[in-house]
Each structure stands twice: as C-alpha cells, then as structure tokens.
Amino acid sequence: MDCIFCKIINGDIPSTKVYEDEWVYAFKDINPMAPVHILVIPKEHICCANAVNAENSHYVARIFEAIPKIAADAGLENGYRIISNCGPDADQTVLHLHFHILGGKKLYSQLV
Ligand code: 5GP
Ligand code: ZN
C-alpha cells in the first residue's frame, strides 16, 4: 500500500520516533507548527476518523492511553492540543488516521 505513514511504521521511511508499543507509533512532525508537534498513529492502516469501527476502535483507545505518556515525555505538563483532520474540508493530507499533539507554547482557542 502506498501510504507514507505505513512506510514510517515499517521503517521504510525514516522518522524521529518518540513512542512505540504493539498498537501505536508516535513521531515528530516533519513540519512542526508548534515547539512540540508529534503525530500519533495506529499501527494498522485506518484512513481517517470515518473508518473507525467496532473492529478497529481499540487502536484509538490505545492511542489515547499512550498520549499522556507521550505528552509527559515531551515536557507538556502545562497542557497540549490534540487534532485529527478527516477528509478534504479538514485538509487531511495523509490518509492514515493520525492525531497531532501540539504544545510547548500557549495555544489560543482559535480552531478554524
Ligand atoms: P494532516 O494535514 O493530514 O492532518 O497532517 C499530516 C502531517 O504529516 C503534516 O503535519 C505533515 O507535516 C506530516 N508529514 C507528512 N509527511 C511526513 C513525513 O514523511 N514525515 C513526518 N515526520 N511527518 C510528515
Ligand atoms: Zn497507512
């Protein structure tokens, strides 16, 4: 499958890993939008939030179990934002479900 994030999980494309377990892989975004910008992805190819279902939703649960550890390791004790873009109107550019963790500075409540 021609998916950049599947290739990153497999090690075919290099990444700066910050966390990994049986279900979850997390790495630094190549184009950071904040002092800390980490992408957290399931190790199974799920295209986006629309493709989450009863068979694969445990990956999402594992991701959210991992996020507090990832955030603590990144020094985000003062908080952080989680974003997941789904589909063209959200400008999703990589069609493998991912959660952006953004932090390391004060983020304001402007979401759009
Ligand atoms: P989206 O717009 O789909 O929500 O976010 C995709 C993110 O993946 C972007 O923030 C982009 O910088 C990041 N990205 C795309 N290709 C690569 C890559 O090859 N390596 C890393 N580390 N990040 C990538
Ligand atoms: Zn993929």
Kindly report the pTM of this predicted structure. Answer: 0.97
Q: Which atom of ligand 1 is nearest to the CA of 92?
A: 3
How many residues make up the chain in this entry? 112
58 catalytic per annotation: no
b vs e for 77-110, b when ≥16 Cβ sit within 10 Å of the residue's Cβ?
eeebeeeebeeeeeebeebbbbbbbbbbeeeeee
Q: Considering every ligand atom shown, identify the ligand nearest to the alpha carbon of residue 7 and give its number.
A: 2
pLDDT category of residue 20 using cuts at 50, 70 and 90 = very high
| pLDDT tens for each residue of 54-82 | 999 999 999 999 999 999 999 999 999 99
Burial class, 38, CB count within 10 angstroms (exposed 0-12 / middle 13-18 / buried 19+):
buried
Confidence category of residue 109, pLDDT binned at 50, 70, 90: confident
Strand-pairing partners, residue 39, are: 27, 100
Quick one: pLDDT band at residue 18, thresholds 50, 70, 90?
A: very high
Supply the pLDDT for residue 1. Answer: 75
Residue extents of the structural domains in the chain: 4-103
Alpha carbon of 4 to ligand 2 centroid (Å): 6
Whole-number Å distance, alpha carbon 91 to ligand 2 midpoint, is 17
Instruction: List the one residue out of 71, 90, 87, 95 whose CA is nearest residue 5.
Output: 95
Place domain 4-103 in its CATH homologous superfamily: HIT-like (3.30.428.10)
Residue 15 alpha carbon, nearest atom of ligand 1: 22
